Amino acid sequence: MATGRTHRPATRSRGIPEATVARLPLYLRALTALSERSVPTVSSEELAAAAGVNSAKLRKDFSYLGSYGTRGVGYDVEYLVYQISRELGLTQDWPVVIVGIGNLGAALANYGGFASRGFRVAALIDADPAMAGKPVAGIPVQHSDSLEKIIQENGVSIGVIATPAGAAQPVCDRLVAAGVTSILNFAPTVLTVPDGVDVRKVDLSIELQILAFHEQRKAGEEAHTDGAGPAAATRAGSDDSADQGPDGDVPAVMPA
């Protein structure tokens, strides 16, 4: 069976922009749902709506894959599923280790979407001796003393860090030294890695803070409208135009 150690995705060598790469999983999720409903073809407008992007951006993204669809017919769903899966490296086996089997690590281990998307949880690792041997999601937890050996034996190139913040960097350093070149970090800290190592950070608190910003902004707009009346609201809308972005609907200071 092929492993992540010997096969790497071709996105960088083919010059696919990172923003496009970030949207490919959204397209794949929408296409997979269509495939499960036995839908044979889909238009760019329908697929874009399902993925939450505009159709022009979708067509541009697909042009990087060499897929342009058929006028009047649309895109072949099954072929696009295969094409995007291949581009993302999901047509092969990617062994993954999860380090830190607390509540979050255990939840990740129990996530059923890994296997269906080309990822195999090769090992669960924790520094607590009391955790050693305990099964989580049917996989026995192994002590962190064996981390390097586990990575070598399983050909692991992707590591998931779900440790407390203070332990994340030392764990990251050991993963990288053992040959891991891609890390998904759930710890609330910024990791330092050498060139050639990719890190993706998932920080739920930051996402909630961004949502809080939007909620506060919406509440302020509602209060302003309710208290000032329609005429003042109209004037406010006119005054706000200086802060709008180039499309006229998104303030220039709004985070991406």
Phi, psi (5° rounding) for residue 157? -125, -5
Dist CA 68 CA 136 (whole Å): 44
DSSP 29-48: HHHHHHHHTT--EE-HHHHH
Q: Is 104 annotated as a binding residue?
A: yes
DSSP letter, residue 142: E
Dist CA 181 CA 191 (whole Å): 13
- Alpha carbon separation from 218 to 61, 93, 205 (Å, rounded): 32, 45, 20
Dist CA 51 CA 86 (whole Å): 19
Dist CA 144 CA 99 (whole Å): 8
Q: Is 105 annotated as a binding residue?
A: yes
Q: Is 103 annotated as a binding residue?
A: yes
Here the tokens at position 66 are 């060499």
- Name the β-bridge partners of 97: 123, 159
Q: Is 110 annotated as a binding residue?
A: no
Q: Encode 71-99: b = buried (16+ Cβ within 10 Å), e = exposed.
A: eeebbbbeebbebbbebbebeebbbbbbb
Here the tokens at position 135 are 């099964």
Q: Is 147 annotated as a binding residue?
A: no
Q: Is 196 annotated as a binding residue?
A: no
Q: Contact, 69 vs 55, CB < 8 A?
A: no
Question: Which residues fall in the annotated binding site for NAD(+)?
Answer: 100-105
Question: Which residues fall in the annotated binding site?
Answer: 100-105
